[in-house]
Structure 1
């Protein structure tokens, strides 16, 4: 919460329970004036938001009570007053919970040498759009580019998360019951990003980033701002109909397609149940591997990973043209391309490296890589970062990555983290039990993640031999890591 919000809430929590004798020491008009000034200061400096509505109501009640109360009249607790206090306590509980649960949060400031700009690009592909019902539809994508800048920036920063992703988020988690304005408090969140500022006059490595399934495609500000500030152009994918939302240049918004998801996942348990049973059974790794390999064939997520990897290949195909003319002319180092992603996007990133020789290195942030990886091996550097899943969690990637790589393979775990810790979720929803995050401090968890990802790409995309990703495991006790090179562990 913001400072004046905390002061306001403490004010309305304590004042109703102050004894009349104490209030009498200061004239009523000064109490009323203090309350009004605090409200005006809050509105003018921080701005109102709906989560503070119970607190605002309590302030109005306090002003009214101060105005009508006869302080000199003896106080007597009546049934009516008791009900009033009960209502007051209920309002106070809600008044504290709402702004704590949905705060105007702070994002970590980027530590790199560059300011960060962003730019949206609309891409039309030749892929058939299999998600829509029109057989003539072709797949269209909106991609957000995060890039380094040396411009001295001032003024308005980019608002936090685009409108389509906001609407998709509130619809998903309220099941359509909450109106769209309830997410507008995100306008108060201060980002460290500026739209369409000038790109620095250098050439930069390019990283393609793929989001989680059914997630806000742009809900990775902490992660992407930091990495871009270190000297990378990042192409933030929005996989249409499988992210929470995308806004196109004509104003059209395309949201997550729940009907398609339902139809595609109807037979999921046919694939998932044998996998769960295989992990609970007392069988060898090889026996379990055969079951997993068979059960994963035909699983709808494998098709999704392939579709998303095709999206990224389509974008890589455009890089040469973008580098020849337009905003990014001569700013992209096309000999240094990497891919990374979170959750399903992490699996898709790994799939891209199998199929596209232009990729120099790839990283998977806590995603299961469904698809052909179980039958093949990487020949380029790969980083896998896992959340700290419980012991009973089915470690499918232990089978997916059994062959690892003929090059470097970094197998790491961020201790005390949950699956959403790689997103902005721990900042946006700071209650662990609701957000599904781990007990790790949100800022520390993001710091370790961004340093590890940056160090990995510095070493294997920028070819900076001074960087050693494994050294971070010695610096942070919450980071576990094993490093493989070919068949040997290093």
Structure 2
């Protein structure tokens, strides 16, 4: 059963044996999106002047988000997976947990999106993304590029001071600042407030304004349609999705990728989404030994859910199969048995294709009206 809020890499892969092949630098990359559109990308720096940061006393809450969108072919350089300052910190953390050297993980590799490319035009439905607790927004890149290639404006949110690093304009890097034993309810409440603030910023963008704090130039023709908005997330990001849908009617559909809806399973301390259910359609994707059959918070949610529900299970996958690690870790030459607790034994390309099919079909059904 998934632990509440966080199921992390730490403690799972520290005993990984590094083979001779794994000592050589890895060539990291993600599968290309298959939709009919090229993909553009732009980052936004958003500052919520009405809210204090809960993790750093006396500071204003600020976020970085990556907007990907259907674009015209060509134009702009390939966007990196992570900006250099954040890439170095995140790679260092991942390398320590994997038992390899940090130079094995170059997280500045090129993605399939072109930075600042002109948008393809037209009002496009929106899909937001929230990552697992303590992980950066980049871990959903393959899923988000795919949806953008199919015609959606996707928005990946970094919940500042949770991930190892978030890089802001000018190269400023904000590190993780969660206190030991951070309050799970405060963490989720902060994430919900972050998401609602991002929705506010997207409304500014939809009206032709520029919500970026530095007023950097936006891609031409980028027009999100805020009458059709979905959201999905992995682990705590899935929990965040459900809790935001309870609080904010602007979300029309949501998906939880293998995330508990509990602050504490043992005491049945569930989130509002589990206790109250939703009227909107919802997708539950699970893996390994986790599903509605084993997760009491999902059972509670299903007992109260009023809107349509879809469920799918990746039996030979694992918790982080629903992130880019499914594609990245097999490239490192590590012992597959050591990686299995993290990404399962599933064929990586079958896993990715299955996820794409599920998310694409769900959002096509719920948002393309």
Q: Give the TM-score normalised by the residue count of structure 1.
A: 0.62
- Find 1:246's aligned residue among 166, 178, 199: 166
Equivalent-residue separation in structure 2 for 1:387 and 1:177 (angstroms): 21
- The answer on 1:438 being equivalent to 2:344 is yes
Aligned to 2:250: 358
SS in 2 for 1:113: coil
Equivalent-residue separation in structure 2 for 1:152 and 1:253 (angstroms): 30
- The answer on 1:372 being equivalent to 2:250 is no
- Find 2:298's aligned residue among 398, 410, 426: 398
Contact 1:209 1:345 in 2 (8 A): yes
1:433–1:138: structure 2 CA closer, same or farther, 3 Å change rule? farther
1:254–1:176: structure 2 CA closer, same or farther, 3 Å change rule? farther
- Find 1:168's aligned residue among 74, 89, 98: 89
Alignment of 1:291-306 (within 5 A): 300-306=183-189
Q: How far off its partner does 1:362 sit?
A: 0.6
Superposed CA deviations along residues 146-169 of structure 1, whole A, max 9, x for unmatched, are 11102335x842223223442332
- Find 1:118's aligned residue among 38, 41, 47: 41
Contact 2:95 2:101 in 1 (8 A): no
Aligned to 1:349: 241
Q: How far off its partner does 1:426 sit?
A: 2.3
Aligned to 2:68: 146
Equivalent-residue separation in structure 2 for 1:429 and 1:390 (angstroms): 21
Equivalent-residue separation in structure 2 for 1:94 and 1:203 (angstroms): 50
Aligned to 1:97: 22
Choose between structure 1 and 2: higher strand proportion: 2
Q: Superposition RMSD on alpha carbons, in Å?
A: 2.6
- The answer on 1:323 being equivalent to 2:248 is no
SS in 1 for 2:139: coil
Contact 2:37 2:71 in 1 (8 A): yes
Equivalent-residue separation in structure 2 for 1:459 and 1:161 (angstroms): 32
More relative contact order, 1 or 2 (CA 8 Å, 6+ apart): 2
Equivalent-residue separation in structure 2 for 1:447 and 1:336 (angstroms): 25
Aligned to 2:225: 333
Contact 1:164 1:255 in 2 (8 A): no
Alignment of 1:207-226 (within 5 A): 207-226=127-146
Equivalent-residue separation in structure 2 for 1:140 and 1:180 (angstroms): 32
Q: How far off its partner does 1:213 sit?
A: 1.1
1:429–1:180: structure 2 CA closer, same or farther, 3 Å change rule? closer
Superposed CA deviations along residues 274-320 of structure 1, whole A, max 9, x for unmatched, are xxxxxxxxxxxxxxxxxxxxxxxxxx323212210110001111222
Equivalent-residue separation in structure 2 for 1:411 and 1:176 (angstroms): 32
Q: How far off its partner does 1:414 sit?
A: 1.6
SS in 1 for 2:232: strand
- The answer on 1:388 being equivalent to 2:258 is no
Alignment of 1:51-62 (within 5 A): none
Equivalent-residue separation in structure 2 for 1:331 and 1:232 (angstroms): 10
Equivalent-residue separation in structure 2 for 1:311 and 1:181 (angstroms): 31
1:148–1:212: structure 2 CA closer, same or farther, 3 Å change rule? same
Superposed CA deviations along residues 194-253 of structure 1, whole A, max 9, x for unmatched, are 111111111100111001111232122221111110001011000001122211113210
Contact 1:162 1:218 in 2 (8 A): no
Aligned to 1:59: none
Aligned to 2:359: 453
Contact 2:260 2:298 in 1 (8 A): no
Equivalent-residue separation in structure 1 for 2:120 and 2:127 (angstroms): 17
Q: How far off its partner does 1:390 sit?
A: 6.4
- The answer on 1:201 being equivalent to 2:121 is yes
SS in 1 for 2:365: helix
Aligned to 1:262: 180
1:459–1:261: structure 2 CA closer, same or farther, 3 Å change rule? same
Choose between structure 1 and 2: higher helix proportion: 1
Q: Give structure 2 stretches of 5+ with no counterpart.
A: 1-17, 211-217, 263-270
Aligned to 2:106: 185
Superposed CA deviations along residues 103-134 of structure 1, whole A, max 9, x for unmatched, are 313421111011111111111112221101x2
> How many residue pairs align between the two structures?
327
- Find 2:52's aligned residue among 128, 131, 138: 128
Equivalent-residue separation in structure 1 for 2:236 and 2:159 (angstroms): 11
Contact 2:228 2:367 in 1 (8 A): yes
Q: Give the TM-score normalised by the residue count of structure 2.
A: 0.81
